[in-house]
Amino acid sequence: MSGEEEENAAELKIGDEFLKAKCLMNCEVSLILEHKYEQLQQVSEDPMNQVSQVFEKSLQYVKRFSRYKNPDAVRQVREILSRHQLTEFELCVLGNLCPETAEEAVAMVPSLKTKGRAHSDEAIEKMLNDLSLVKRFE
Amino acid sequence: MFFHIVLERNMQLHPRFFGRNLRENLVSKLMKDVEGTCSGRHGFVVAITGIESVGKGLIRDGTAFVTFPVKYQCVVFRPFKGEILEAVVTLVNKMGFFAEAGPVQIFVSKHLIPDDMEFQAGDMPNYTTSDGSVKIQKECEVRLKIIGTRVDATEIFCVGTIKDDFLGVINDPAAAA
Amino acid sequence: MNEITKKKRERVTTPCLVVRRSRSPPRSLSSPRVWFVNSMDNKGPVLKTVVLEPFIKLVRLLARAFYDDYTTKSDNQQKTARSDNRGIAVVVLDELTRKQWVREEDLAKELKLHAKQLRKIIRHFEEQNLIMRDHRKETAKGAKMYSVAVAATTGGRAEDKVKFHTHSYCCLNYPQIYDIVRYKLHRMKKKLKDELEDKNTVQEYGCPNCQRKYNALDALRLISMEDDAFHCENCNGELVVECNKLTSEEVADGDDNARRRRREKLRDMLQKMEKLQIRVAELRCVLGGCDVVHGYFVVDAILRLLSVDYVLFFFWLTKKVQIKPLMDQINRVKDLPVPDFGSLIAWEARAAIAARENGELNPNDPLRSQGGYGSTPMPFLGETKVEVNLGEGKEDVTSNGGDSSLKVLPPWMIKQGMNLTEEQRGEMRHEAKVDVGSSKLSDDKKSAMESGDAKDLLKDEYFKAYYAALIQQQQELAQKQRQEESGGEVVAPDSEMASTSSDRQVGMKSKREEEEDEWEEEVAPVPVAGNGNYKVDLNVEAAEASSGGEEEEEEEDIDWEEG
């Protein structure tokens, strides 16, 4: 049983270090990276040359896959999700993928249904509904 | 998944960078050193967002260099086995397809593509269902699950699947256009 | 054992309402079967009773299901019949279920393993969290602490002269074991299911030219600019898809349609399995003597008749290991309090207190065996015996204690009877009867403790012959014993015999007391060499272990019929 073999995000086995760490949704990363990119633009003529490939690819990625663009919406999404006793990781998966049904949400985040956790389908539906409202009024 | 974490690094600085701008020099060197790197443990370091603390410098014996322990906040990207994420298809061939999720590359082998999708060679190689309703080709967006990661000192590579419920193509730019 | 101690035993054992399966009855406070934990809550120390038995069984099943094939040899080493030490891990784990904390060198001696070899195995288990270890630089005082603890938990007496060395101790990590078993079962089921459904498996590729193997994680390195295919890094040959093991056979050419057909068939099969209600007995009819079933053809036919947990079924087909008993056992253990011996230090301290309270520790007690060969007596927790109970869910702690019909007595058991002292003879006289008929030769005794050592096999053969010859003699002796109340009779073992058995008794002295109790139920004590130097042959355990193994096998079969 190597450490790698044990890793399984579906069961929240992502290592203590990451389980306790602050997770970021794509939309949040997008805000952070764009802010940083703007700062670079102010001091440099050619900011794209200043950043690493990892930065560039990440920025493209999060811009493409951000469900929410405006900072207020991003804040609301986190607030809604954090009312539901989710771990950081679960919260961000839901925020990134925006499942439409409870069934889909559980397929994306199987740990929602692990024993001892009180996430009924109704509660999950309600949460997803709240998220879609944010999106609609963004 | 992206994380915001605190990491620590011992920075060695030459005395010529000392003086009023020592801290600035330290930070810009740190950014140059760590942004864009990848470690198996923490994943890809995307961007440094802040400095937590700079410790007391220690002169290294026999050299003029001084070592400063620096704690910094950064955004990292670390894929996990079992994680579901969205990615952009970059290459399609008869063995399967490659996709990219930020800095990480993911390969989906043919047997982890749903059975009802056939490979079509040509200018724009793709996997298509028999009724033509779903097509996987370059630039389309897929939702996939990571089933294996290969982590070495400087690289992370993933193997994924789209053969499960709620996985597969989420948006086909060709179809949209 | 006199009446008083017997009463005392009963008194201590009643509160836990457990009928013991073991033939070795519990010793007073620190019975090997029942461990009392002093938990400190605000009401002061509370005596909790933890029944070890189900956990021991769990460990033994675990050992057989998952560590059967463990070998200390690495794959590239040439495997000869002689160096093949598979099964060794099972032996070690079994032995550990009879102990609490044990000094590793003593364990090595007892199992006749090289210390290095044992360490390797133990380290392996430590990595898996099955075993707790403790290392310490032993001062005379430290060694004494351990000896005292052993004495308290066994009633035996430890060797006093211990050198100043770093000693390692180990103990089964019972609190972890439940989770480990659950995790292992879970992983195995998932893996099988994935493989069956062709899901979550990392595709493998092979080079037809140089036979190199790759998998999908190498994809980035294998992709070629010229064409669509993956190419071997070594010879640039075009790689082909390797078909997975369970469902291989026909699709070696990597033909996609064939692959799809196969998968469809498999899926179809899975559905059938889930739907149909057919008994396992029928499976046995179909399979008959069929050892290994390849591909799905046979399976498909069988599945028309069957509906079993298909994951279990496939595991059984592929690995030929019965994991159902393990799963049953884990369910039984689920709500039981977990035995926890604590750290070595805590264990010693507790044992010391227990001993003091009992006033039990008397190194000069004539009933205790004399140390010899530098051995340290171990707590003896009963013989290796894995039982598989079927059907009923509540049988976990019920006993088959006095059921000697299950236990095939090897002849050397009777030889041990000969080694008993006068006191023992005296107190056991009334129950003693020699049942030579039941002492058949156990053929696979060798496997359990000797780990297939050819030399020991020879020895065993020799013993068989020797004991067979002795049986008659013993019968006569026993008869005589029954007539004379104080048998001062001595049968001197011939010198060769003595020397052969002496190297088998190392480290086993302390078991005498437990084992004498077993003999009450099973074997007549026959006196030999009444000089107080008791010999306890290691083969006792081997025999018990192997007969336990036989039972296990038999019952596994039954399990399939009834489960």
Superfamily of domain A13-64: RNA Polymerase II, Rpb4 subunit (1.20.1250.40)
Q: Which CATH number fits domain C47-73+84-172: 1.10.10, 1.20.1250, 1.10.530, 1.10.3470?
A: 1.10.10
pLDDT higher than 80, residue C455: no
Task: Tell me which amino acid residue C389 is.
Answer: N
Closest CA to C547 of C340, C396, C387: C387
Tell me the average pLDDT across C325-336. Answer: 74
Q: How do residues C414-451 score in pLDDT, each as one tens digit? A: 444 444 444 444 444 444 444 444 444 444 444 444 44
Tell me the average pLDDT across C27-52. Answer: 46
Q: Please state which CATH class domain C201-243 belongs to.
A: alpha beta
**Predicted complex ipTM:** 0.91
Q: How do residues C76-126 score in pLDDT, each as one tens digit? A: 454 455 566 777 888 888 888 888 888 888 888 888 888 888 888 888 888
Q: pLDDT grade, residue C456 (50/70/90)? A: low
Q: Which of A65-74, C12-21, C170-179, C455-464 has the highest average model confidence (pLDDT)? A: A65-74
Nearest CB to B109; choose among C199, C203, C228: C203
- Please answer whether residues C363 and C147 qualify as being in contact, where contact means their C-beta atoms are separated by less than 8 angstroms: no
Mutate to test the interface with B, among C214, C220, C247 (most CBs of B within 10 A): C220
Task: Tell me which amino acid residue B21 is.
Answer: N
- Please answer whether residues C68 and C94 qualify as being in contact, where contact means their C-beta atoms are separated by less than 8 angstroms: no
Cα–Cα distance, A50 to C68 (Å, whole number): 58
pLDDT higher than 50, residue A7: yes
Domain positions in chain B: 2-77, 84-176
Tell me the average pLDDT across A101-128. Answer: 86
Collapsing DSSP to helix, strand or coil, C20 comes out as: coil
Tell me the average pLDDT across C306-313. Answer: 46
Q: How do residues C526-559 score in pLDDT, each as one tens digit? A: 444 444 444 444 444 444 444 444 444 444 444 4
**Domain A71-136 fold:** Growth Hormone; Chain: A; (1.20.1250)
Q: How do residues C358-374 score in pLDDT, each as one tens digit? A: 655 444 444 343 433 43
Chain C residues touching B164 at Cβ < 8 A: 199
Closest residue in chain C to residue B159, using alpha carbons only: C217
Tell me the average pLDDT across B75-89. Answer: 95
Cα–Cα distance, C450 to C433 (Å, whole number): 30
- Please answer whether residues C278 and C306 qualify as being in contact, where contact means their C-beta atoms are separated by less than 8 angstroms: yes
What DSSP string runs through chain B?
A: -EEEEEEEEEEEE-GGG-STTHHHHHHHHHHHHHTT-EETTTEEEEEEEEEEEE---EEPTTSS-EEEEEEEEEEEE---TT-EEEEEEEEEETTEEEEEETTEEEEEEGGGS-TTEEEE-SSS-EEEETTSS-EE-TT-EEEEEEEEEEEETTEEEEEEE--STT-EEEE-HHHH-
Q: pLDDT grade, residue C163 (50/70/90)? A: low
pLDDT at C259: 59
**CB–CB contact A64 B88 (8 Å):** yes
As beta bridge partners, residue C214 has: C205
Q: pTM of the predicted model, to two decimals?
A: 0.50
**CB–CB contact A96 B86 (8 Å):** yes
pLDDT at C365: 41
Ordered alpha helix ranges (H), C212-320 = 219-222, 256-275, 280-287, 297-305, 310-319
Tokens of B59: 């002169």
**Domain B84-176 fold:** OB fold (Dihydrolipoamide Acetyltransferase, E2P) (2.40.50)
| H helix or E strand, kind and range, residue C126 | helix C115-127
Closest residue in chain A to residue B46, using alpha carbons only: A55
Nearest CB to A22; choose among B4, B45, B141: B4
A54 touches chain B (CB under 8 A): yes
pLDDT at C72: 65
Nearest CB to B3; choose among A22, A36, A51: A22
Q: What chains are in contact with A, requiring at least 3 Cβ pairs below 8 Å?
A: B
Domain positions in chain A: 13-64, 71-136
Q: How do residues C74-90 score in pLDDT, each as one tens digit? A: 544 544 555 667 778 88
Chain B residues touching C201 at Cβ < 8 A: 111-112, 147
Share of chain C above pLDDT 90, in %: 0
pLDDT higher than 80, residue B104: yes
As beta bridge partners, residue C290 has: none
Tell me the average pLDDT across C21-31. Answer: 38
CATH code of B2-77, in short, is 3.30.1490.120
Q: pLDDT grade, residue B107 (50/70/90)? A: very high
- Please answer whether residues B80 and B7 qualify as being in contact, where contact means their C-beta atoms are separated by less than 8 angstroms: no
Tell me the average pLDDT across C133-148. Answer: 74
Length of chain B in terms of residues written: 177
pLDDT higher than 60, residue A88: yes
Cα–Cα distance, C38 to C51 (Å, whole number): 15
Sign of CA dihedral C125, C131, C132, C138: negative
- Please answer whether residues B174 and B137 qualify as being in contact, where contact means their C-beta atoms are separated by less than 8 angstroms: yes
Token pair 């392996």 is found at C124
As beta bridge partners, residue A138 has: none
Hey, do A13-64 and A71-136 end up sharing a CATH topology, with the first three levels equal? yes
Domain positions in chain C: 47-73+84-172, 201-243
pLDDT at C520: 40
Nearest CB to B102; choose among A61, A99, A104: A61
